[in-house]
Structure 1
Amino acid sequence: MLKVGETLKVGRGTWEKEPTDVTYQWYADLAPVPGATKDTLALTPGLVGKRLSVTLAAITKGSSLPGYSSARSSGPVRPGTLTVAAPTLKGKAKVGRKLKVRAGATLPASATVEVQWLVRGKPVVGGTTKVLRLTKALKGAKVRAQVTYAAPGYEPVVVRTRAVRVR
């Protein structure tokens, strides 16, 4: 299964007459991928859902040998998987203080990070910022943040921080 974030590589192939040069053209759903003329192809978000193939053409002493299709995926390119570290909480879990969530991930530039604070396992209305002020109403409650990471061409990832009890 091909996924965004991977790189495909195709070999030169075997020829009756050893070529002096080999040219490559990658295709997505039979349309040429602009600029994809090397033996490798990085799978980007724009390729999600497309079937890939590559054509090689050999050149021997100034003449061109027929190209051939040497690689085809077994199915469409799938969304990639974001790799994230678990988010953490910073601050003291004490009434009158603030807790801040640190996302803990290195993401593509196009990624978004959404925070939802949870108290006693339930979403806090309006609790979607990186900081939560701990009020008297929260004393004794377990608090945690749920962080959703998303980027075009990748499956979203939802991770929760460890829970802390407000003192």
Structure 2
Amino acid sequence: MKQAPIRRASQKDEAHLAALQKRAYVKYVPLLGTAPQPMAEDARRLLEEYEVWVVDGAEDVLAGALVLRTAADHLLIWSVAVDPTQQGVGLGRRLLDFAEAEARKRGLTEIRLYTNALFTDNRQLYAHLGYVETGIELHEGRELVHMAKTLAAAV
């Protein structure tokens, strides 16, 4: 079965992006007692201020989204959102691999992300993929764990 391509999001995707962010992150509400930052973030702002890549799903919904921001010396993964019906089939990994490829294309050898300290499964997954915890920051009453991965230079 052919995979849907990863494409750059446009303003036309705003409502679908907002819905995906909510579907993907709602499972964390009981753990946090509030909506995680990506779930609460305005999709229009994300599309205007970040670089958003998406994968189309069935029936006019998004299966996944990747929100990136380029800095001088690294690429930041702000969010990886995968529709709950698509979790466990490799889409999240595919989006992370895409982010790493984008970093290399831009001549960057480091990729960074952060996650909530309470999201232990995410922290373990990122560690398994080569990310190293680089610090903990208190942000709006939440502990964020910063992680980084050194990438081999593009060949």
Output the TM-score relative to the length of structure 1.
Answer: 0.23
User: Where is the helix percentage greater, Structure 1 or Structure 2?
Assistant: 2
The structure showing larger relative contact order (alpha-carbon pairs under 8 Å, at least 6 residues apart) is 1
User: Where is the strand percentage greater, Structure 1 or Structure 2?
Assistant: 1
Higher-Rg member (1/2): 1
Output the TM-score relative to the length of structure 2.
Answer: 0.24
